[in-house]
Amino acid sequence: MSIIKEIAAAVETGKSKVVGGLVETALAEGIDPAVILNEGMIAAMGVVGEKFKNNEIFVPEMLIAARAMKKGVEILQPQLQKQGVEPIGKIILGTVAGDLHDIGKNLVGMMLEGAGFKVIDLGVDVPAEKFIETMKANPDCKIVALSALLTSTMPAITSTIKAIEDAGLRNTVLIMIGGAPVTQAFADEVGADGYSEDAASAAELAKKLFAQANK
């Protein structure tokens, strides 16, 4: 098995103690850090996402895979920086105002990182002003991802999008939304650019939106 395949297998199965050593070996063999990242780790997280979507694996397996990838990235990071390898994009993520739920949002964050994005996680109960402030501080951010778990906090998605519009920033980002009560119909109604029903699909959607934003 090639070292890249070994890294991918270790990430996929959540072997966080092994991944670092494998990444070091790959680097010592002169393998391009970008290849290690993309073909080893990000590809593995893609497989994890697919299996999660199909109920072949569940939340714990996904979490330990994400943890293993993180370990690998820690080793890889200095080399990636040296080579000027940047994350594929930046995403601002948060659960909207009035909603304290973070499980779905955190899983989405992990899968976005697993897909190669830099995620600015604003946490839970995030007021619209905070999203706007973060957007202004990160003008290179192309996607804002909003989460709500409760029907009673879905209106905060609407008001956050409205506040982004009022701040004159709507054209600078694409907005994706999700959460248990959220549907595609709701996304259409509030003028979001995308909706996904689970964390793995969110990473795919983000890649699609990012490609769209960079056209």
**Where along the sequence are the contacts to another protein (CB under 8 A)?**
14, 55, 57-61, 63-64, 67, 98, 100-104, 106, 123-124, 150, 152-153, 180, 197-198
Check: CB of residue 174 under 8 Å from CB of residue 121.
no
Strand partners, 126: 96
> Closer CB to another protein, residue 150 or residue 213?
150
> Closer CB to another protein, residue 39 or residue 98?
98
**Where on the phi/psi map is residue 2: left (φ > 0), alpha (ψ -120 to 50), or beta?**
beta
> Closer CB to another protein, residue 31 or residue 177?
177
Minimum separation from the CB atom of position 136 to another protein (A): 24
> Closer CB to another protein, residue 44 or residue 88?
44
Minimum separation from the CB atom of position 114 to another protein (A): 14
Minimum separation from the CB atom of position 56 to another protein (A): 9
Count of positions (residues) in the chain: 215
Minimum separation from the CB atom of position 13 to another protein (A): 11
Minimum separation from the CB atom of position 180 to another protein (A): 5
> Closer CB to another protein, residue 164 or residue 200?
200
